[in-house]
Structure 1
Amino acid sequence: MNNLNFIGCDASFEEAQTILFGVPFDGTTSFRPGTRFAMQAIRPDSYGLETYSPYLDADLEDVMICDGGDLELPFGNTQAVMTQIKDYCTDVLAANKMFYMVGGEHLVSLPAIEAAYEKYPELHVIHLDAHTDLRDDYMGEPLSHASVIRRCHDFLGDGRIFQFGIRSGTREEFEWAKTHTHLEKFTLTTLAKTIEQLKDKPVYITIDLDVLDPAVFPGTGTPEPGGISYTELLAAIKLFQQLNHIVSADVVELSPQYDVSGASTAVACKTIREMLLTITK
Structure 2
Amino acid sequence: MKTISNCFIGCDKPVENSDLLIFGAPYDGTSSFRPGSRFAPDKIREASYGLETYSPDYNMDIEDLSIGDIGNVEFPFGVKDKVFEKIKNCTANLSKMNKKTLCLGGEHLITFPIIEVLNGAYDNLKLIHMDAHADMRDTYIGEKFSHATVLNNISELIGQENIYHYGIRSGTREEFNKIAKYNNLNIKHSELSEKIGDDPVYLTIDLDILDTSILPGTGTPEPGGFSFKELSELLFSFRGFNIVGADVVELAPDYDFTGASSIVAAKVVRNTLCTMLG
Tell whether the structures are fold-level matches, with TM greater than 0.5: yes
Equivalent residue in structure 1 for 2:13, among 8, 11, 27? 11
Q: Is the 8 A contact 1:5 1:69 kept in 2?
A: yes
Q: Is the 8 A contact 2:40 2:252 kept in 1?
A: yes
Equivalent residue in structure 2 for 1:57, among 23, 44, 59? 59
Identity of aligned residues (%): 47
- RMSD value over aligned CA atoms? 1.4
Shift of 1:152: 0.3
Structure 1 equivalent of residue 246 of structure 2: 249
Question: How far, CA to CA, are the matches of 2:190 and 2:134 in structure 1?
Answer: 20
TM-score scaled by structure 1? 0.94
- In the TM superposition, what whole-angstrom CA distance separates every residue of 1:26-68 from its partner, at most 9, and x where no partner exists? 0000100000000221112111111100111100111111111
Residue 139 of structure 2 is aligned to residue 141 of structure 1: no
Structure 2 equivalent of residue 48 of structure 1: 50
- In the TM superposition, what whole-angstrom CA distance separates every residue of 1:211-251 from its partner, at most 9, and x where no partner exists? 011011111010001101100011011101031x1111111
Structure 2 equivalent of residue 234 of structure 1: 232
Q: Match for 2:133: what amino acid?
A: H
Shift of 1:196: 4.0
Query: Taking structure 1 as reference, are residues 159 and 189 closer, same or farther at Cα in structure 2, changes over 3 Å only?
Result: closer
Shift of 1:183: 4.1
- In the TM superposition, what whole-angstrom CA distance separates every residue of 1:96-152 from its partner, at most 9, and x where no partner exists? 111000100000000111211111121010000000000111111101000000000
Q: Is the 8 A contact 1:192 1:239 kept in 2?
A: no
Q: Secondary structure at the match of 1:48?
A: coil
Q: How does 1:14-163 map to 2 (within 5 A)?
A: 14-163=16-165
Q: Match for 1:142: what amino acid?
A: K
Question: How far, CA to CA, are the matches of 2:221 and 2:58 in structure 1?
Answer: 28
Q: Is the 8 A contact 2:161 2:184 kept in 1?
A: no
Please, which moves more after superposition, 154-163 or 11-20?
Answer: 154-163
Shift of 1:193: 2.6
- In the TM superposition, what whole-angstrom CA distance separates every residue of 1:133-181 from its partner, at most 9, and x where no partner exists? 00111111101000000000111123111111101011111122222x5
Aligned pair count reads 275
Question: How far, CA to CA, are the matches of 1:189 and 1:152 in structure 2?
Answer: 20
Q: Secondary structure at the match of 2:27?
A: coil
Structure 1 gaps of 5+ residues are none
Question: How far, CA to CA, are the matches of 1:123 and 1:174 in structure 2?
Answer: 22
Q: Is the 8 A contact 1:24 1:35 kept in 2?
A: yes
Q: Secondary structure at the match of 2:49?
A: helix
Equivalent residue in structure 1 for 2:211, among 204, 213, 217? 213
Q: Secondary structure at the match of 1:166?
A: coil
Query: Taking structure 1 as reference, are residues 217 and 192 closer, same or farther at Cα in structure 2, changes over 3 Å only?
Result: farther
Question: How far, CA to CA, are the matches of 2:187 and 2:213 in structure 1?
Answer: 21
Structure 2 gaps of 5+ residues are none
TM-score scaled by structure 2? 0.95
Question: How far, CA to CA, are the matches of 1:89 and 1:156 in structure 2?
Answer: 17
Runs of 4+ in 1 over 2 A off after TM superposition: 176-179, 181-184, 188-193
Q: Match for 2:196: what amino acid?
A: L
Query: Taking structure 1 as reference, are residues 189 and 198 closer, same or farther at Cα in structure 2, changes over 3 Å only?
Result: closer
